[in-house]
Amino acid sequence: MNLLKKSKLRKNKITKMMNDLPKVETPSTDLIFKEDLETNLDEIKKELGNCSDLVIRNILVGNQELAIVYIEGLADSDRINKSIITPITSHMSESENIREHLLTNLCKKVITNAQIKEKFDRNELILSVLSGDTLLLVNGFTEGIVLGTKGWSDRGVMEPSSQNVVRGPKDAFSETLRTNTALIRRRIKHPTLRIDSKRIGKLTATDVAIVYLEGIVNPEVVKEVNRRLDEIKIDSILEGGYIEELIQDKTITPFPTMFNTERPDSVVANILEGKVAILVDGTPFVLTVPAMFVEYFQASEDYYHRSDFASFIRLLRFVSFLMALLIPSAYIAVTTFHQEMLPTSLLISLAANHEGVPFPAVVEVMIMELTFEILREAGIRLPKAVGTAISIVGALVIGESAVTAGLVSPAMVIVVSFTAITSFVIPSYDMGIAIRMLRFVFIFLSATFGLYGIVLGIIVLVLHLCSLSSFGIPYMISVGPFHLSDQKDSLIRLPWSILKKRPSHNKLNSMRQPDNSSENGG
C-alpha cells in the first residue's frame, strides 16, 4: 500500500510539473490585416518577437504608404530589389495610385516578380514570411500580397556520397526540396507526374512532397501514404528518418521496410515502376514505398551495364549477404560441435592455431566483431582525411597484436575480416545494419545448438521475412507469393528486350514496353 501511495504521489507530482511548463503558443487564425499599416507591422513584430533578422522596408509613393516584410537570409534580397522595390519606386505612376485599383495595378502592372499570391490567414502569412517569401502591405487595405522570393544558400547538386557508381549519372539530391523535385521533373517529362505538397511539424512546418505517376501508381498506395502522413502529430521534422519511423508498417523487425536513396535516377526508376516517392525538405535522402527485399540488393548501375554482367554482380551480392550473416556462426558451430565435418589436416591446423588461446571460439568471435564494429563507427565519425586511415591501421594493428598476445587465433582474424569485406558488398546501408545485428543472433544460436541452431535461425528468418509487408505489398513478393515474371529482375536481370512488364505489385499499368507481335497482329 505504501508503494502504491508513493507511486500515485510521484505521478501527481510529474503531472503538476508538466502542467507548469510553459506552453508553446501558436498564432491564432484570426485575420491579421487591419486598415492601419503601422498596426499591421506592430502585429508582425509582436508575432515574430521583433527578431534581428526581420527586415521591414517602408516605401512612400505619392501619398500612398507601402511596407515590405521579409526575413534576411531566407529571402533573395537582389530579387526583392529588382522585381519589387525598383518597379514600385520607379514605374508606379499617379494614375496607378488610385485606391480601388491599387492592388490590381501592383500585381499586374508594376511588380515583375514571378510568384504573386494573396494571404489572409495569420498562420499562412507568418509561415510564408518564415519560408523565405516577401510580404507586401499597403496602408488602408485589409489585404496583403505574398511574393515568392525564396533564395537561401545551399550546396547545390553534387556527386552522391554513399551510393557511388562506375557508370551512370553522377548527380545527387540536395537539401533543397524544389531542387530535388526539379531533378525528378528533368527525367520524367510527362504531364501525369504528380507532386503533392504537405507541411508537417508544429514548429518546423517542414515541407514534404509526395511524387508519383498518375495512371501507373496504385491509387490505394497513394491514399495510404497521405493517410499516414496526415496522422503524424509531432513538433519537428528535421530529416526523412523522422517520417520513415512514423509511417512505416508497425512491425518489430531489423529489416527496413522503406527504401531511401540520394540518387535521382534510382528514385525515378522506382516511380516508373509504380512506387511513391516522399521528399523531405532539408535532407538529400528520398524515401520510396512500397519496398521489397530484393530492392536492397539492386544498384542503379545494374541497369546501365550488360545484363550478363549485372546478373553476375547481383548474384554475388546475395552470396555476400549469406556469407556476411553466417560465416562467423558457421565457424563456431563446426569448430566447436561438428569437428568431424572438417578434413583431418585442416582440423589439426586449426587446433594448432588455437593452442594457447584462453577463450573458446564464441568469445573470440565476439571480441573481434565488437572491436571491428567500434573501428567502423570510429572511421565514420572521424574526419574523412583520418577516418579511413584510422579504421584500416586500427584493424591491422589490433588484429596483429591480438594474435601476438594469444587472445585470438589467426584463423579467427581471417574469418572476421572476410565477414566484414562481404558486408560492404551490400549496396544498401540500412540492409547492412540489419545484417550486422542479426549476425550476433546467429553467433549465439551456433554457440548454443551448433548447426542445428543455424538452421533453426534461418527458418525463423525466412518466415519473418515472408510475414512482412510494406504499405500493403508483401516484402518478399518475388519469392512469396511467387511470381514467375518477377524472376526476370530479382536474383538476376534479363535484357531490356525481355523486361516488358513492371513488377507484379503494379496491377494498374503493368506493361513497360508494347508487345510488337500484338501490334502487328501476330
Render pLDDT for 356-377 as a digit per residue (tens, 0 to 9): 778 888 888 888 888 888 888 8
**Of the candidates 293, 308, 228, the residue with the CA atom closest to the CA atom of residue 435:** 293
Same domain, 197 and 286: yes
Same domain, 206 and 352: no
Taking residues 133-149, what's their average pLDDT?
82
**In total, how many domains does the chain have?**
3
User: Does the predicted TM-score (pTM) go above 0.85?
Assistant: no
The label of the residue with cell 546501408 reads 429
Same domain, 142 and 256: no
Q: Please, are residues 300 and 168 in contact by the beta-carbon 8 Å criterion? A: yes
pLDDT at 53: 86
> Which of 291, 325, 353 is at the close of a domain?
291
Question: How far is Cα of residue 438 from the mean position of the Cα atoms in its chain?
Answer: 23
pLDDT at 392: 66
pLDDT at 383: 72
pLDDT at 393: 67
Same domain, 311 and 385: yes
State the residue range of the domain holding 83.
Answer: 37-147
Work out the percent of the chain whose per-residue pLDDT is above 90: 26
Q: Residue 468 domain-assigned?
A: yes
Please name the amino acid found at residue 84. Answer: I
Instruction: Quote the crossing angle between the two packed helices 429-449 and 361-381, to the nearest 10°.
Output: 170
> Which of 248, 263, 291 is at the close of a domain?
291
Q: Please, are residues 475 and 255 in contact by the beta-carbon 8 Å criterion? A: yes
Q: Which three cell numbers stand for residue 392?
A: 584500416
* CA–CA separation, 462 and 473 (whole Å): 17
* CA–CA separation, 246 and 257 (whole Å): 12
Q: Which three cell numbers stand for residue 309?
A: 554482367
**Of the candidates 212, 199, 69, 216, the residue with the CA atom closest to the CA atom of residue 138:** 69
**pLDDT tier at 289, thresholds 50, 70, 90:** very high
> In this model, does residue 498 exceed pLDDT 50?
yes
Q: Residue 436 domain-assigned?
A: yes
Same domain, 193 and 125: no
Q: Residue 485 domain-assigned?
A: no
Same domain, 214 and 282: yes
330: Cβ contacts below 8 Å, ≥ 6 apart: 446, 451, 454
Q: Output 325 or 158, whichever has higher pLDDT.
A: 325
pLDDT at 14: 43
pLDDT at 17: 46
Sign of CA dihedral 271, 273, 274, 275: negative
Same domain, 407 and 442: yes
Q: Output 482 or 466, whichever has higher pLDDT.
A: 466
Q: Which three cell numbers stand for residue 107?
A: 500585381
Q: Residue 370 domain-assigned?
A: yes
Q: Residue 501 domain-assigned?
A: no
Work out the percent of the chain whose per-residue pLDDT is above 70: 83
Please name the amino acid found at residue 163. Answer: Q
pLDDT at 4: 46
Same domain, 373 and 434: yes
* CA–CA separation, 119 and 136 (whole Å): 10
Q: Residue 137 domain-assigned?
A: yes
pLDDT at 168: 84
Which pLDDT tens digit goes with each residue over 8-51? 555 455 455 445 544 444 444 444 567 788 888 888 888 888 78
* CA–CA separation, 280 and 514 (whole Å): 35
Residue-level length of the chain: 522
Same domain, 55 and 196: no
Bin 342: left if φ > 0, else alpha if -120 < ψ < 50, else beta: beta
Same domain, 402 and 263: no
* CA–CA separation, 279 and 290 (whole Å): 15
Q: Please, are residues 135 and 69 in contact by the beta-carbon 8 Å criterion? A: yes
Same domain, 112 and 231: no
Taking residues 273-299, what's their average pLDDT?
92
Q: Residue 353 domain-assigned?
A: yes
> In this model, does residue 229 exceed pLDDT 90?
yes
Q: Please, are residues 504 and 483 in contact by the beta-carbon 8 Å criterion? A: yes
Secondary structure letter of residue 257 according to DSSP:
S
* CA–CA separation, 515 and 99 (whole Å): 65
Please name the amino acid found at residue 230. Answer: D
Taking residues 229-242, what's their average pLDDT?
91
- 10 Å CB burial of residue 414 (0-12, 13-18, 19+) is middle
Q: Which three cell numbers stand for residue 452?
A: 542445428
Taking residues 164-184, what's their average pLDDT?
88
pLDDT at 518: 43
Same domain, 212 and 101: no
Q: Residue 498 domain-assigned?
A: no
